[in-house]
Structure 1
Amino acid sequence: MSQSPSVALPMPKKSKRVGIVGAGMAGLYAAYRLKLSTDPSITVSLYELDGRVGGRVKTHRFTAEKDQYFEAGAMRIPSTQMHQPTFDLINLLKDTHHANLNLIPYHLTTSGNRIFVNGILKNGGDDRTAKALGFELPAPYDGQTADALLLSAIKNVLDLLDRDFEQGWKLLMQYDKVPFRSYLLGLEWPVSVIDFVETMCSQTNQFALSFSELIMQNLDFDTKDWFTLDGGMDQLPQALAGVVGMDNITFGARVQKVEENGDGVTICAETPRGRVEQTFDKVILAIPPSALRMIPDRPRWDSRKEQAIRAMFYEALYKIGLRFKTRFWEHVQPPSLGGQSTTDMPIRWIVYPSNGIGSKGPGVLLLYSWNTDASVWSSIPFNERLKSSIWHLSKVFPNVDIYDQFIAAEDLAWSEHNPTGDAMFLPGQFSEYFEIARRKEGNIYFAGEHLSRHHTWITGAIDSARSTAEQVISDFAFKQCPTGWIPPTGTEPNEHYDPEAHRTKVIKGGVENVKNNREEFEKSVLDAV
């Protein structure tokens, strides 16, 4: 009896296991990028402390009714080339994965937005020079607006970037160790003038940040067109998590140990179902420095790395959403149809929703402060926060019975939660800590918006996560991995992508638009006066 020929069965490929701590935008995008790799043996497991995905992308919904929500975290996307990765991701999730993500215009400012400073209430279109707003400045500063003064302070830097971007960027890095306030003092601005510009254009003590950080902020906020997701920004991380696979995410996981050993990297976490322990080939820590520091049992790296983890600055953020019976801000004269009001009171910014403009029924306002202005809210209980918010809001709308209009409120002080706030580097931190902080350590990698060159934004998280994921893929393959912002569906990109060269090109191309937008905005203000 003849024997049938033996058939050599293929040996199953050993999976390449990647553990990711954090299911915010950086952790989710890193997992997404790894799943899109042409290497099918890569598997991902995520550990998330909260009971949701998204990190600092968080939407609070008062009810299931349309437009009854506010953004407790990320709330807008500038329409610039720098932020194209976020738009590309949204489009990819829509087109390829059928995510219900609909962008609508976000109004950063509108003509009806009020100002309340020094006890003076100004309507949209009123005189907004320093003198008109009650700021006692020496001539000729007293007859200028804060926006005009800020433009005059940074115009030379923008011009240099326009003429020779490489030289301009070198100058920016040379000034990285200089606080923006010190830069303005170097221009022989009186302190009172600096305080006026900071009050009207930023928030208290923001000018203590590095010169380079403030310039990067201005590259964002001088954008004309902005967008947001209709129905809430948290739909983006939820859609991303759906593609990554919710089964791959362990929620309520407080990581207690990260240990590198001969078999890989072991993660131990306490979860609602008990202690879990798993060993991976590689681990990505996609969490802010504060969370990394609080992992009790983790490797201790060299002194410069540990200094960077301790020192990278996150500023406090405070938001409170107030639900009212009507959208009264759209019915006063002049109406605020989106945009925001500036005040010097603790509430600082009043953000009018860009969603649901003109609709009937209840509406939601957002009061928003950050840095020093946000820190004061953490010292008082919620009932006092609410009373203070409504009282101050009534000063901006003296002809509206705010108390009668009020229905409900919810707030979030980010300093009391895991992210603690958003990354905003102090002088010298970019040039001294950035490269050290994002450097991998053995089989442990790092990701997050703080490890990008575009702090606070979703695009920063995407930028960092993509770079980290591609480094992991390359290390698995022992070869250079081709890169790019968003890979073609189901494949890796064909062309090599140099993040630094791309960023240089994008910023250079955007400088002239930034300058023109500022000049057009200032012209419109002067014409109104």
Structure 2
Amino acid sequence: MLNPDFPFSYDLYLEHPAGLGSVPEELHGSEVAVVGAGLSGLVTAYELMKLGLKPVVYEADQIGGRLRTASFPSAEGVTADLGGMRFPESGRALYHYIDLLGLETREFPNPLSPVTSSTVIELAGKKFYAETAEDLPAFFHEVAAAWKAALRDEAHFEQMQEAIRSRDARRVKEIWDRLVEDLDEETFYGFIAGSKAFKDAGFAHREAFGQVGFGTGGWDTDFPNSILEILRVVYTDADDRHRLIVGGAQRLPQALWHHSPAKMAHWPAGTSLASLHGGSPRGAVAKIARAHSPATPAGESAPITVTETWGRQRSYPAVVTTCQSWLLSTRIDTEEGLFPAEHWTAIERSHYMQSSKTFVMVDRPFWKERDSEGREVMSMTLTDRLNRATYLLDNGPDQPAVILLSYTWNDDALKWLALDAEQRVELMLHSLEKIYPETDIRSHIIGQPITVSWEADPNFMGAFKANLPGHYRYQERLYTHFDQSGLSAEHRGIFLAGDDISWTAGWAEGAVTTALNAVWGVVKHLGGSSAPENPGPGDALGEWGPVRLG
């Protein structure tokens, strides 16, 4: 996932033996606030701890953020990933931490992937069963070919992928910066509808592309979003070769919380984020404000005070906020003067995607049984019905298994918002019974369902950001905020991180890379620097940073 907006190799940066830099020795043990104990917050805190600083992590709910795993009450070992659940192999900065922590992964059962034994596509009441892509009718191959041709002809797909694979940053920027200027105000749908390949194919092909899509399923809920968002995904293979974390995605942030690095400045061996916090993060943040003091020298940034919900306060020379950026204006009383006006505009213009999931546990992976025609009785399913996508998650023969009955986005997710878990399951089963009339799914269900609508969670208000056309300028402001050399003192010392600040919102890789940006920013703010032999992201921003539109 070498991002075309800023093709900096974060994986090589992390692996370099010189580390991520240093702060002046007299600052060892100094506290830095980190708001949010999701993946971005914990990567930030973990790397600051390694540099000899003392991160103070605040969390309103639970460690993990949108890497949240729920267990079924009657079988604690059977889990459901309510947020992030599949991680592309190209996300190498993310896998740096997965490998470091020794977490086991295995291939995720996406439609038509090698570990998915069968896939059913059902459109307009017509059902198509496939064990490999070759089993699908010619129409679906035409849809896939039109998408490939649109990318090739309109977006220099092969040239960009080759430049990314060879880490040719100059070539990546040559291609991408021109596309940004040409396509910033284009929607995903406008891009495909205007492409010669889909014009030649016709509306039915565009419709099917939206309903069953490419890679992980239908993408018509993304049609109003900027085409740049989609290109970033397909260029970097983010929507391909996915793996899941065995035991649930939340194991990653939880392991990071408890892990003691092999090499740290200042702290004794065995120190972890958990030990620095006495086992638990600080509570929810209610207010962030500058601690104004006449003792602050001119041109320097005064400390920033963080106030918890129940009144406890503490001041810090630097604060990193990793919560959804909307929360800085809706849930946290954030002093307006901490950010320039144009950054507040960018925060308020952020566009978040809604997302809903509903899971049930079943007695065994019964779907592998065969019917009279020799087909599996149920398959990984893509449909134009309410469910949209149904995933089958196997825990082994004769073991309880999990069905993700429905995974939906935006308008499709809003259709479920007012319904409780049982109502959702009833409607989802009604749709699946139309597709599989001879399969008694209900008789296999055990216990209570698990469901989530991220837009209804007050600590998130949505699943992830997806820029609308014309939003590139806003994203560029938020992403580059970690380099504060051009900001006045009143705006320095608070840093933004999290996948919604990244160019790859919704992917854990973006949470990791923006955390590393924030670490660089904090180190610089405190008078430290990168190792000369391992320049950090801020050191490369001038040469390879995002293009600035007029």
TM-score for the superposition, normalised by structure 2: 0.76
Q: Which amino acid aligns with 1:402?
A: I
Question: Residue 416 of structure 1: which of 437, 451, 456 is its match?
Answer: 456
Deviation for aligned residue 1:12: 8.3
Q: 1:28-83 CA deviation, whole Å, 9 max, x = no partner? A: 1100010011xx3x211111110x21100011111474762121111112112xx1
**Does the 8 Å CA contact 1:112/1:336 hold for their aligned counterparts?**
no
Q: Which amino acid aligns with 1:360?
A: D
Mapped partners of 1:340, 1:226: distance in 2 = 15
Structure 1: 5+ residue stretches without partners: 1-10, 95-100, 131-142, 484-493, 506-529
> What SS does the aligned partner of 1:259 have?
strand
Question: Residue 194 of structure 1: which of 203, 206, 219 is its match?
Answer: 206
Deviation for aligned residue 1:119: 1.0
Question: Residue 446 of structure 1: which of 496, 499, 504 is its match?
Answer: 496
Matched with 1:376 is 415
Matched with 1:240 is 256
> What SS does the aligned partner of 1:68 have?
strand
Deviation for aligned residue 1:368: 0.9
Deviation for aligned residue 1:381: 2.8
Confirm whether residue 389 of structure 1 aligns to residue 428 of structure 2: yes
**Does the 8 Å CA contact 2:121/2:212 hold for their aligned counterparts?**
no
**Does the 8 Å CA contact 1:289/1:309 hold for their aligned counterparts?**
yes
Q: 1:93-127 CA deviation, whole Å, 9 max, x = no partner? A: 23xxxxxx212222323351111221112111543
> What SS does the aligned partner of 2:175 have?
helix
Mapped partners of 1:207, 1:317: distance in 2 = 15
**Does the 8 Å CA contact 1:204/1:372 hold for their aligned counterparts?**
no
Q: Which amino acid aligns with 1:75?
A: M
Following superposition of structure 1 onto structure 2, how do residues 323-342 of structure 1 map, counting pairs within 5 Å?
A: 323-332=361-370, 333-335=374-376, 340-342=380-382
Mapped partners of 1:129, 1:386: distance in 2 = 34
Mapped partners of 1:462, 1:326: distance in 2 = 36
Q: 1:214-233 CA deviation, whole Å, 9 max, x = no partner? A: 11222355765332211111
**Does the 8 Å CA contact 1:288/1:450 hold for their aligned counterparts?**
yes
Q: 1:225-276 CA deviation, whole Å, 9 max, x = no partner? A: 3322111111100001113423527558332210112351111111xxx432
> What SS does the aligned partner of 1:319 have?
strand
Question: Residue 114 of structure 1: which of 107, 114, 120 is its match?
Answer: 120
Mapped partners of 1:345, 1:15: distance in 2 = 56
Confirm whether residue 127 of structure 1 aligns to residue 129 of structure 2: no
Matched with 2:22 is none
Q: Which amino acid aligns with 1:266?
A: T
Question: Residue 47 of structure 2: which of 21, 33, 36 is its match?
Answer: 33
Q: Which amino acid aligns with 1:442?
A: R
Mapped partners of 2:377, 2:37: distance in 1 = 36
Mapped partners of 1:416, 1:302: distance in 2 = 29
Mapped partners of 2:258, 2:36: distance in 1 = 16
Q: Which amino acid aligns with 2:375?
A: P
Mapped partners of 1:91, 1:14: distance in 2 = 28
Paired positions, count: 453
Question: Residue 83 of structure 2: which of 73, 76, 81 is its match?
Answer: 73
Structure 1 residues 388, 92: CA separation in 2 closer, same or farther (over 3 Å shift)?
same
Q: Which amino acid aligns with 2:401?
A: G
Q: 1:346-374 CA deviation, whole Å, 9 max, x = no partner? A: 11111122x52x42132111121112211
Following superposition of structure 1 onto structure 2, how do residues 150-299 of structure 1 map, counting pairs within 5 Å?
A: 150-156=147-153, 157=155, 158-161=157-160, 162=162, 164-174=171-181, 175-187=183-195, 189=199, 190-201=202-213, 202-219=218-235, 225-243=241-259, 244-246=272-274, 248=277, 253-261=283-291, 262=293, 264-270=303-309, 274-299=310-335
**Does the 8 Å CA contact 2:67/2:84 hold for their aligned counterparts?**
yes
Mapped partners of 1:228, 1:21: distance in 2 = 27
Q: Which amino acid aligns with 2:172?
A: F
> What SS does the aligned partner of 2:433 have?
helix
Structure 1 residues 111, 401: CA separation in 2 closer, same or farther (over 3 Å shift)?
closer
Mapped partners of 1:412, 1:252: distance in 2 = 25
**Does the 8 Å CA contact 1:200/1:342 hold for their aligned counterparts?**
yes
Mapped partners of 2:81, 2:391: distance in 1 = 10
Matched with 1:57 is 67
Deviation for aligned residue 1:91: 1.9
Mapped partners of 2:361, 2:381: distance in 1 = 17
Matched with 2:166 is none
Structure 2: 5+ residue stretches without partners: 1-24, 164-170, 260-271, 294-301, 483-490, 545-550
Q: 1:198-224 CA deviation, whole Å, 9 max, x = no partner? A: 111133331211111111222355765
Mapped partners of 2:444, 2:519: distance in 1 = 49
Give identity over the alignment, percent: 21
Deviation for aligned residue 1:432: 3.5
> What SS does the aligned partner of 1:318 have?
strand
Confirm whether residue 429 of structure 1 aligns to residue 478 of structure 2: no
Q: CA RMSD in A?
A: 2.8
Structure 1 residues 13, 378: CA separation in 2 closer, same or farther (over 3 Å shift)?
closer
Confirm whether residue 147 of structure 1 aligns to residue 148 of structure 2: no
Matched with 1:362 is 400
Deviation for aligned residue 1:194: 2.4
Structure 1 residues 165, 469: CA separation in 2 closer, same or farther (over 3 Å shift)?
closer
**Does the 8 Å CA contact 1:176/1:431 hold for their aligned counterparts?**
no
Question: Residue 389 of structure 2: which of 349, 354, 359 is its match?
Answer: 349
**Does the 8 Å CA contact 1:48/1:251 hold for their aligned counterparts?**
yes
Q: Which amino acid aligns with 1:79?
A: E
Mapped partners of 2:377, 2:80: distance in 1 = 17
Deviation for aligned residue 1:89: 0.9
Mapped partners of 2:240, 2:330: distance in 1 = 40
Mapped partners of 2:235, 2:84: distance in 1 = 18
Confirm whether residue 458 of structure 1 aligns to residue 508 of structure 2: yes
